[in-house]
Structure 1
Amino acid sequence: MLYRIIDAGDVPLLIRAFMDSYELVAPVECDQGHIFDTIDDPNDVVLDYSTTIASPKKYFLPPREILFKFDVAQNDVDAYELDVKPRVLFGVHPCDMNAIEKLDSVFLEGPYPDPYYRARREATLIVGVGCTPSQSCFCHRMDADEAPAGYDLFLQDLGDRFWVSISSVAAAEVLEESTTLREATDEDRAAFAAATRRRNEAFSSDIPFVQDVAMLMDTYHSDPFWAELGSRCLNCTACASVCPTCMCFDIVDELAFDGKTGERVREWDCCTNPQFATVAGGHNFRPSERERVRHRMYHKLNGFKEKHGSMLCVGCGRCVDACKTGINPIEVLKFFDEKTRGAHDAQQGKGATNGE
């Protein structure tokens, strides 16, 4: 890993240099906040944003994509040609970079990598940027507040300059050609440490630290808490729409009007969708909101970790803002905190009684 310093005024030059060879996607301001969008002017890029409304997941796993086309009359299938452009995702927060790493573990690892996801992923460079958490952020509780890997460049704002972490040759070449690099000094390193400290201190103190979350998901699997939490669910699936790690999808065949040709399409789906767990014959394995909400939280905080070694939630806080009835992992953490504190207090009281 290489570390260099560039002047703040060099950032637009870096963006412009990437735009010469890549499609550049970066956070821009919109009516509701900030979104990732394709950039035509470097001045449109906003790097000091809190959290975008939706994640950059759609650039690897689109909400809707054609997998292939078929001809029923000819009993023939035509492979669908992906039009994949070299792309740079610029200004990605650590939580979103961690989310992309988790998507990679699902779609790229194992015996059958997803060719559609892989084509987009391999054509994409990622430039990360440090951030200041909002009140909804809890990435520090999900071990996703830092991104030790998963980027080509990482920028940390130090005021009039940026600390740059370099981890790929392709990005390093563009950086060197477009900016004036210099070695980091002791003053720069101290400024970087101070920026890290300010970020850590900015997290909300109302979000509890809970140990062994995955184990607690099993311990309180039948608790009435899930019925209360599920009773609020509106089945709107807004949580999955904004989540950077939700990866469930449905496959549908769409026939043309002639009834002879069609397309096989992959579309986003969500486990809180009432029809998600419905199978042939009409049986629904999770018919109630209680079961669906619990399953979603279980997968985020337990099931994924059992298979891949880390929780699926990255604490970006988007679902906190998107859900109008307050269903989110923070509520689960607070519930576990209350339960474990109560158990600890009861044990302490029992010990004191026995001591008397």
Structure 2
Amino acid sequence: MLYRVFDAAELPALVSAFMDGYEVVAPVKRGAHYSFEAISSPDEMDLAYDTTLASPKRYFLPPTETLMRYNAATNEVADFQEEVVPRVIFGAHACDINAINRLDLVFSDGRYPDPYYKARRAATLIVGVSCSPDSDCFCNLWDADEARFGYDLFLHRLGDKFLVSISSVEAANILESAVDLRDATNEDRIEFRHATRARQAAFNPDIPEIQDVAMLMDAFHSDPFWEELGSKCLACNACAAVCPTCFCFDIQDVLDPDGQTGERQRIWDACTSPQFAVVAGGHNFRPTGRERVRHRMYHKLNGFLATYDRMLCVGCGRCVKACKADINPIRVLEFFEKKGAEGAC
């Protein structure tokens, strides 16, 4: 891993250098909120954001995508050929980079790699940027507050300069051509340590830090808490829409007006949807809100961990803001804290 320093005033030049050969997607302010969007000028980008409404996930796993086209009259099937755009995700926070790393485990590194996801991932460079947590962030609890891999460049803001971590040759070449790089000094490293400590101290201390969450998910699997939580669920799926690691999908065949040709689409789905676990014959394996909410939390905090040795939740806090019924992992942590206090009495 290489570390270099450049002046913050040169940031627009770096963005412009990427725009010469890539579509650049960056955080843009829209009203009171931020979103990742393709930009046409460095001036549109705002790196001083707390969080975006949704993650960059849709640039790897779109909400709707065509997998193939078919002709029912001739019984012919044709793979759908989508143009994959060389792209840079500029300004991703560590939690979102860790979320992409988790998606990679499922769609790139698994037994059956997904060719659509892999093509987009291979064509995308990721430039991360350091951040300060807001009151809903708890990425530090899941070891997702630092990105140790999964990026090409990572920018740490230190006053009027950036300390940049370099992990790919392609991005390094663009960086060197765009800005005046210099070696990091001991003073730069000391500033970096101070900035890191300040960020760590900024996390909300009211969010419980619970050990052995996965084990507790098993221990309290039948607790009435899940009925209380599930009864409030509106099944709006806002949590899954904003989550950077939700990857469930449905497959639908969409006919053209002629009734003969059409396309097969993959669309986002969510385990909180009442129809998600319905199978042929009409049986629903999770018919109640209690079962659906518990399953979602179990997958985030236990099931994925058992398979991939890391939480599926990265603690970005988006679901905390999105859920109108106040259902989120923080409430689960508070429940475990309460149970621990009761057991100590």
| Amino acid in the other structure paired with 2:111 | P
Q: Give the deviation of 1:110 after TM superposition.
A: 2.4
| Amino acid in the other structure paired with 1:275 | Q
Structure-1 residue corresponding to 2:197: 197
Structure-1 residue corresponding to 2:12: 12
Deviations 1:141-186 (A, max 9, x none): 1110000001000001001000000000000000000000001111
* C-alpha distance in structure 2 between counterparts of 1:43 and 1:320, whole Å: 30
Deviations 1:34-89 (A, max 9, x none): 00000101011111100000000000000000000000000000111021011000
Structure-1 residue corresponding to 2:265: 265
Q: Give the deviation of 1:4 after TM superposition.
A: 0.3
Structure-2 residue corresponding to 1:137: 137
Are 2:243 and 1:278 aligned? no
Are 2:245 and 1:252 aligned? no
Deviations 1:183-238 (A, max 9, x none): 11111111101110111111000001111100000000000000001111011000
Residue 193 of structure 1 aligns to a residue whose secondary structure is: helix
Q: Give the deviation of 1:330 after TM superposition.
A: 0.3
* C-alpha distance in structure 2 between counterparts of 1:279 and 1:141, whole Å: 36
Structure-2 residue corresponding to 1:153: 153
| Amino acid in the other structure paired with 1:290 | R
Structure-2 residue corresponding to 1:287: 287
Count of residues in Structure 1 that have an aligned counterpart in Structure 2 = 345
Residue 111 of structure 1 aligns to a residue whose secondary structure is: coil
* C-alpha distance in structure 2 between counterparts of 1:70 and 1:56, whole Å: 30
Superposed, which structure 2 residues align to 1:59-78 within 5 Å? 59-78=59-78
Q: What percentage of aligned pairs have identical amino acids?
A: 62
Q: Give the deviation of 1:310 after TM superposition.
A: 0.5
Residue 232 of structure 1 aligns to a residue whose secondary structure is: coil
* C-alpha distance in structure 1 between counterparts of 2:318 and 2:140, whole Å: 15
Superposed, which structure 2 residues align to 1:1-356 within 5 Å? 1-343=1-343, 345-346=344-345
* C-alpha distance in structure 1 between counterparts of 2:235 and 2:80, whole Å: 33
| Amino acid in the other structure paired with 1:312 | L
| Amino acid in the other structure paired with 2:200 | N
* C-alpha distance in structure 1 between counterparts of 2:283 and 2:210, whole Å: 37
Gaps of 5+ in 1: 347-356
| Amino acid in the other structure paired with 2:340 | T
TM-score for the superposition, normalised by structure 2: 0.99
Q: Give the deviation of 1:111 after TM superposition.
A: 2.5
Deviations 1:253-294 (A, max 9, x none): 011121110100000000000000001111110000000000
Gaps of 5+ in 2: none
| Amino acid in the other structure paired with 1:96 | D
* C-alpha distance in structure 2 between counterparts of 1:285 and 1:166, whole Å: 47
* C-alpha distance in structure 2 between counterparts of 1:57 and 1:342, whole Å: 40
* C-alpha distance in structure 1 between counterparts of 2:174 and 2:260, whole Å: 49
Q: Give the deviation of 1:122 after TM superposition.
A: 0.2
Structure-2 residue corresponding to 1:353: none
* C-alpha distance in structure 2 between counterparts of 1:267 and 1:288, whole Å: 23
Residue 91 of structure 2 aligns to a residue whose secondary structure is: strand
TM-score for the superposition, normalised by structure 1: 0.96
Residue 21 of structure 1 aligns to a residue whose secondary structure is: coil
| Amino acid in the other structure paired with 1:321 | K
Structure-2 residue corresponding to 1:354: none
* C-alpha distance in structure 2 between counterparts of 1:301 and 1:68, whole Å: 34
| Amino acid in the other structure paired with 2:69 | K
Pairwise CA RMSD of aligned residues? 0.6
Residue 233 of structure 1 aligns to a residue whose secondary structure is: coil
